[in-house]
Amino acid sequence: MADLVEGATGLEAAERIARRDLARLNYPPANWVPERFGPDGKRVLDVLVVGAGMCGQTAGWNLLREGIRNIRVIERNFYRREGPWNTTARMPILRSPKHLTGPDLGVPSLTFRAWYEAQHGSAGWEALYKVKRLDWMDYLLWVRKVVDLPVENGVALERVEPAGKFLKTTLSTGEQLHVRKLVLANGRDGSGGFKWPRFPSFDPDSPKRAGKVFHTLEEIDFGKFVGKRIGVLGVLATAIDNTATALEAGAREAICYARRPHLPQVNKSKGASFPGFQRGQGMLDDDWRWKIYTYMLSAGSPPPHESVLRVQKLPGFSFRFSEPWLDVIVDGDGVTVKTTKSVERFDVVLMGTGFDVDMSRRPEFAAFASNIKIWGDTRSPEDAKANGEAALYPYLGPGFELMEKEPGRTPLLSDIHLFNWGSILSQGALAGDIPGLFVGSPRLVQAISHSLFRADVAQHAENMFNQEDPELAPTDYYVPREKRSGTL
């Protein structure tokens, strides 16, 4: 391996090794998908990947690895702001153990460990407790560079609609593209939006909330909270991490409120983080899948113990359990919060209430939204009502594709693949959590590959029939095509 690393150190050497390994794997193979042309006379894009965070990036380079090269990957945010890592994630370290793989797609020299050891050595790896959040961001961008995945930053999907045999997408740049497959790798809120609690006096769309009420998944300037008193609704991971960030930035006091009497204690998702579960959950019947994930969603996950220890060390922090909020009233000077036990006055309120999965909230899918099959369509009315949030999750096919509620009304719907958190009820945690990527990305890409092949099978067969590359020529063993038995 000396020839690969001579004159190079650290990441330079690691990059050379990884590129050599990719070359040994014949990456990237030649494109095999026949060209298609749209009604505008332009070549149709085979796959448009929306989002270049962890899931979108991994899907994109997996498509290239499959020989599907007529693709584009767009990302609404600018470079180094892909995904939550450098924007709305506010924990110092990742929750996941350091040894997990996924974005590497099984190439050892592309693992986080390889990236980290190139800079800190084996001893540094052994000493590492967990992965720093911004290190993970840098690692993902390094993988993207090494696999030569082109990403168009600052470009968003604004609309998708049927256009004959293809999907027509409109981008934020004004460009319109005809595409065969659309992959939505657009983050945790990509199948819905922020979940705002309902209170008699609170309107999340009111301009009055500006600067006073924030959702914890928004980008926030915590430097403006110096000396402020803050009320936080929620005690799970994002609520705790936002609270700590506010106090570390100089907030005077921050109180986290919860309806429950104590913090959740057990992370049930750990019981589903092994290959059998990750590969098998999406193959189960509807009853089992519904039973498993309605339980997981209702159980919730405790905040990481590192986050709890972080916030409990900070002056001005406190929990208030068994004290749900009844109303939130925003005025010119701050926010009044009425709870079951008191009336409190805050300068700023943070809502750590997560996000909704509800495709009807996504304006770009207005042309399809009414016919997207959801899990509530597969359950009894009583069961769907008892699990109202789970009932809104889209019911996906085996390749993460959206399904029709009324078959035949929007047949192109199955060309849209949901590779974000909205897929969890159908497929398990394969699109959003690091441990599931090694199953989720290949499953997605194989489904797209199979579909593209089936659509052009006549042309592929004709190409095979017409294949002329004599392996024995020019020896006497070569038999001209017209004299071969069985010639078509």
CA 6 to CA 375: how far, in whole Å? 56
The interaxial angle of helices 437-455 and 457-465, nearest 10 deg, is: 70
Per-residue pLDDT of the chain (488 residues; tens, 9 = 90+): 444 444 456 999 999 999 999 999 999 999 999 999 999 999 999 999 999 999 999 999 999 999 999 999 999 999 999 999 999 999 999 998 999 999 999 999 999 999 999 999 999 999 999 999 999 999 999 999 999 999 999 999 999 999 999 999 999 999 999 999 999 999 888 999 999 999 999 999 999 999 999 999 999 999 999 999 999 999 999 999 999 999 999 999 999 999 999 998 888 888 888 889 999 999 999 999 999 999 988 887 899 999 999 999 999 999 999 999 999 999 999 999 999 999 999 999 999 999 999 999 999 999 999 999 999 999 999 999 999 999 999 999 999 999 999 999 999 999 999 999 999 999 999 998 898 999 999 999 999 999 999 999 999 999 888 888 777 666 556 666 677 665 44
Torsion of CA 470, 473, 478, 481, to 10 degrees: 40
Instruction: Map tokens 């609404």 to a residue.
Output: 76
CB-CB contact of 192 with 422 (8 Å): yes
- Over residues 333-390, the pLDDT tens digits come to 999 999 999 999 999 999 999 999 999 999 999 999 999 999 999 999 999 999 999 9
CA 112 to CA 437: how far, in whole Å? 14
Residue 351 φ/ψ, nearest 5 degrees? -100, 105
CA 369 to CA 320: how far, in whole Å? 40
3 state DSSP class of 76:
coil
CB-CB contact of 359 with 422 (8 Å): yes
Q: How far is CA 79 from CA 86, 187, 275, in A?
A: 10, 16, 33
- Tokens encoding 350: 């943070």
CA 234 to CA 249: how far, in whole Å? 20
DSSP state of 183: E
Count of beta carbons in the 10 Å neighbourhood of residue 407: 11
Instruction: Map tokens 């008191």 to a residue.
Output: 342
CA 244 to CA 232: how far, in whole Å? 11
Q: Which residues pair with 152 in a beta bridge?
A: 74
Bond preceding residue 398 cis, omega within 30 of 0: no
